[in-house]
Structure 1
Amino acid sequence: MKRILPFVLLLSMHSCQYFEKNIPNKDELLNQEIKKIDWESVDEFPSLADCDSLEDKAARKQCFFELLAKDLEMKLCNDTIRRKFPSIDTLQLKVVVYPDYKVEFASQNTTEDTVKLDSVIKSKTVGLPIIEPAIKRGIKVKSEFIIPVIIKKN
């Protein structure tokens, strides 16, 4: 028994190292998580109320873009834009949806009078349906995209 006791003591002192755990640095863990996030995509795209009932993510996205393009075409396809900007047949609109439900529209077309075009777009897009912001990791985030709006149909 006297021979076994020193061996057990030596073993128990050595085995304590197996129970030690390295606690990771919180900044290191945060940096690892940040690197994992794809900052160029969102978990859920912006949405309109008519599209919320769809279960499939891709169908909801397609519904959103189709309905928004249709609503914008109805608002912007008027004689004012056709008369003031006869060279434009399709508007490339940059749409920015903020987390607080605010929406901004800006033309991406290169015309001689972009400021005038943007003011017409701003006045004509009043009263569009409420757009739900995009969601990233459970948080509403700002999203930007460009949507083509056909002004003149051939």
Structure 2
Amino acid sequence: MLIDAVERVRIWNTKTGLQVGQLLKGHIYWGTSLAYSPDGQYVVSGSIDKTARIWKAETGSEVGYSLKGHNNAGTSVAYSPNGQYVMTGSKDKTVRVWNAQTGLLVDKLLRGPTHSVTSVVYSPYSQYVAFGSREHIVNIWHPQTGQQV
């Protein structure tokens, strides 16, 4: 996979070197991060345009909604291990969790980072989520309780 600097996302077959499907157009500014769904059917892309978008990996078509809600550039995206959720981090100092099937906001972590979020990740069984920030700290949270570990 490759994100280029002119608002496009491309998916490449790593074995053949050929582009898969169509050019993924939708973001109005350049992309910052990508993640595949656990089953490989979808790709989520984050962007400076404050949105994340979900695409069908095989065809490159957008699923029909954008994940909107951040007040500043998106910096990182991650799929939950079961593929039901997408987590996004942003320069607005928040981490948001979205329903991957509907695009609806499920949760927003308000406490924690005092600087831009730079990276987000789920633990293998979704019992924890972690995010890094520009304050040189990794925060680990229990998503069911909303408590920091």
Band the TM-score falls in, shorter-chain normalisation: under 0.3
Q: Who wins on radius of gyration, i.e. which is larger?
A: 1
Q: Which has the higher contact order (CA 8 A, sep 6+)?
A: 1
TM-score by length of 2: 0.28
